[in-house]
């Protein structure tokens, strides 16, 4: 079955450590996205990539980094520079040339990151 897989579902890290969240899709979508979700704030775009080896900053990119070496994969690294990393992170994908929603957007199940 086609879809987006985020792993792990729950992740705990000590303050000051970098951590990488995985996002894999087998939908043959060119575009992939990372969102951060905090209670009462909806979703905020961190980074997005429209094509392999290219990505753009979203609204809250500071303290995060991404790579897009393969079409299927778009990992997100939460660095120690991110001041408040504890949140729910969602990955999404869409057909090339179309923002999520213009054609049906596919979201992963999310990763809940807790930094202690």
Partner 1 sequence: AQSVTQPDIHITVSEGASLELRCNYSYGATPYLFWYVQSPGQGLQLLLKYFSGDTLVQGIKGFEAEFKRSQSSFNLRKPSVHWSDAAEYFCAVALGSNDYKLSFGAGTTVTVRA
Chain residues in the site for partner 1 (CB under 8 A): 4, 31, 33, 35, 40-45, 48, 50, 56, 58-59, 90, 92, 98-102, 104-105, 107-110, 112
**Nearest distance in Å: CB 72, partner 1:** 17
**Nearest distance in Å: CB 115, partner 1:** 19
Nearer to partner 1, 17 or 103 (CB): 103
CA–CA separation, 96 and 5 (whole Å): 19
**Nearest distance in Å: CB 56, partner 1:** 8
Nearer to partner 1, 16 or 42 (CB): 42
Nearer to partner 1, 28 or 56 (CB): 56
The tokens describing 90, both together, are 């969602």
Residue with tokens 């961190």: 46
CA–CA separation, 30 and 13 (whole Å): 31
Which residues face 100 on adjacent strands? 103
CA–CA separation, 11 and 23 (whole Å): 14
For residue 28, the number of C-alpha atoms closer than 13 Å in the C-beta half-sphere is: 1
Nearer to partner 1, 17 or 56 (CB): 56
């Amino acid at each position: 079955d086609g879809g987006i897989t985020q792993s792990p579902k729950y992740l705990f890290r000590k303050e000051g450590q970098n951590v990488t969240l995985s996002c894999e899709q087998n939908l043959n979508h060119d575009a992939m996205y990372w969102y951060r979700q905090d209670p009462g704030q909806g979703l905020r775009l961190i980074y997005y990539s429209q094509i392999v080896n290219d990505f753009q900053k979203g609204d809250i990119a500071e303290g995060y980094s991404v790579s897009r070496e393969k079409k299927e994969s778009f990992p997100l690294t939460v660095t120690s520079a991110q001041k408040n990393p504890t949140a729910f992170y969602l990955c999404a994908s869409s057909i090339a040339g179309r923002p999520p929603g213009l054609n049906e957007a596919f979201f992963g199940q999310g990763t809940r990151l807790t930094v202690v």
